Amino acid sequence: MYRRNNQSSSPYNVNGFEISQDLEVEFLPNRSSIQANESYDLIFVAIDESGKRSHRTYVTYEAISANLSGDVVDIDNINVTEGTVRLFAINPFANKYDTAAIQSLNGSNTFNFENLILGDYIILADPDETEYPNLIPTYLGNTLDWQVADTLFLQGNISNVTIEVEKEPEPLTERGSEISGTIQEEFSDADTTLRVLPRKRVSGVGVSVRVLTGSSRPEKSLRLLDDDYELVAYIKTDENGEFTLPNLPSGNYRIRIEYPGVEMDETSDINFNLTGEQGEVVTLEALVEDGLVTVTETGRVTSNNPENPILFKFYPNPVKNELHLMLESETISTELIVFDMKGVIQKRIKLNSGQNTLDTKDLSTGTYILRLQDTDGNYIMKKMIKI
């Protein structure tokens, strides 16, 4: 099946039906090349088992359109008049959400999208950060998560749609753990013959951190994909694709990268435990590729004296047989303790200034914590992976 007068149109193959059997074919046009209120001819070509074309039928398709309008307020019903409203078309055949339209509010809290092709949509209100620093992007249905956003089934004109924008959680002011990281994506127009596609940092992407609360999470207007979690922090990546979330207390956390239509890889490092100690810093790297957002924990540092920490480097990580450590701090005596994830000590050695070597051949495959401490009780902890 092709669209007439469009040589670049890709075929839609329909197979496996018997002669004289009624057949229903659902055709979803590519919205980027179909114009609202225009008519198109679809060409149905019958091909027999030998591959010969036996019949051709033309069917007229009209891209019927409709309008969508509404307003944006915060959860206190105060008008939000600066920012953007983004409309995403649900494309079930490609398993993605296409950006259908973007509209700026420009001093008014109302929006009006005209000549939209009939279909299913989700809609996001993104308040201006300068004008509304305490508000966060929110989908229709009071959620940060596109997976649970309310779907608009556009089969005719829809009006009086109200998007209620949520407020940021209260700022965390007590000194605690920190999460920082970067978000990258593969170039969609890169040379596909390359073994590894080039990547670029992505700015303006929402990053949210939720803490596990269990089934007793208090009732709030904000709906989350994770029922047993509560939102504690939200931020967007800066112009370098970087983000930092400080002052997190002790708890079990989950991180979400807000990419409409792109699922999180639930098997990647999206869950982690924080001690809430001031010197603990967890670094993450998120990569958008092949329809998934994958998060990798690239480092974890814990120090009880972050103003004057013990400085050391180690490599390789992951390690197989031998770990090399470089002690950079000028300390009289420093001890290295290797813990497994159950807190059991696996190794304990004294380190000298400069280069040191740790034999790791006898360690089982898994994750370990390296704790370096001096005679004054100062320590720093980092994660090591044994392969």
Q: Which domain holds residue 21?
A: 1-63
Between the CA of residue 265 and those of 70, 184, 251, 282, 285, what are the distances in Å?
Answer: 34, 15, 22, 19, 13
214, part of any domain: yes
Least confident of 52-56, 66-70, 114-118, 358-362: 52-56
145, part of any domain: yes
Confidence of residue 179 (pLDDT cuts 50, 70, 90): very high
The residue with greater pLDDT, 337 or 91, is 337
| Same-domain check for residues 72 and 136 | yes
Q: Which of 126, 141, 165 is the last residue of a domain?
A: 165
| Same-domain check for residues 192 and 285 | yes
The pLDDT of residue 129 is: 94
Q: Which of 248, 278, 300 is the last residue of a domain?
A: 300
331, part of any domain: yes
Confidence of residue 1 (pLDDT cuts 50, 70, 90): very low
Which domain CATH number covers 370? 2.60.40.3080
* pTM of the predicted model over 0.95: no
Least confident of 157-171, 183-197, 296-310: 183-197
Side-chain half-sphere CA neighbours of 230 within 13 A: 13
Which domain CATH number covers 280? 2.60.40.180
Which domain CATH number covers 89? 2.60.40.1120
Mean pLDDT estimate for the chain: 82
* pLDDT of residue 8 exceeding 50: no
The residue with greater pLDDT, 328 or 337, is 337
| Same-domain check for residues 347 and 284 | no
| Same-domain check for residues 207 and 264 | yes
What mean pLDDT is predicted for residues 26-55?
67
| Same-domain check for residues 70 and 53 | no
- Cβ atoms of residues 15 and 49 within 8 Å: no
| Same-domain check for residues 280 and 186 | yes
| Same-domain check for residues 229 and 137 | no
172, part of any domain: no
| Same-domain check for residues 91 and 3 | no
171, part of any domain: no
The pLDDT of residue 293 is: 94
Q: pLDDT tens digit string along 87-101?
A: 999 877 666 788 899
Least confident of 127-141, 281-295, 368-382: 368-382
* pLDDT of residue 377 exceeding 60: yes
Say how many domains are in the chain. Answer: 4
How does DSSP assign 244-306, residue by residue?
Answer: EEEEE-SEEEEEEEE-TT-EE-TTSS-EEEE---TT-EEEEEEEEETTEEEEEEEEEEEES-T
What mean pLDDT is predicted for residues 347-375?
85
| Same-domain check for residues 46 and 86 | no
Q: DSSP code of 146?
A: G
96, part of any domain: yes
227, part of any domain: yes
| Same-domain check for residues 294 and 310 | no
The pLDDT of residue 221 is: 78
What mean pLDDT is predicted for residues 279-287?
86
| Same-domain check for residues 224 and 290 | yes
The pLDDT of residue 6 is: 43
170, part of any domain: no
Confidence of residue 194 (pLDDT cuts 50, 70, 90): very low
Measure CA of the first residue to CA of the last residue in the chain; give whole Å.
52
| Same-domain check for residues 159 and 185 | no
- Cβ atoms of residues 295 and 283 within 8 Å: no
* pLDDT of residue 190 exceeding 60: no
Q: Which of 265, 300, 335 is the last residue of a domain?
A: 300
Which strands sit side by side in the sheet containing 251-258, from one edge to the other? 229-236, 206-212, 251-258, 271-274
What mean pLDDT is predicted for residues 26-45?
65
* pLDDT of residue 271 exceeding 50: yes
Between the CA of residue 192 and those of 184, 186, 188, 189, what are the distances in Å?
Answer: 18, 11, 9, 8
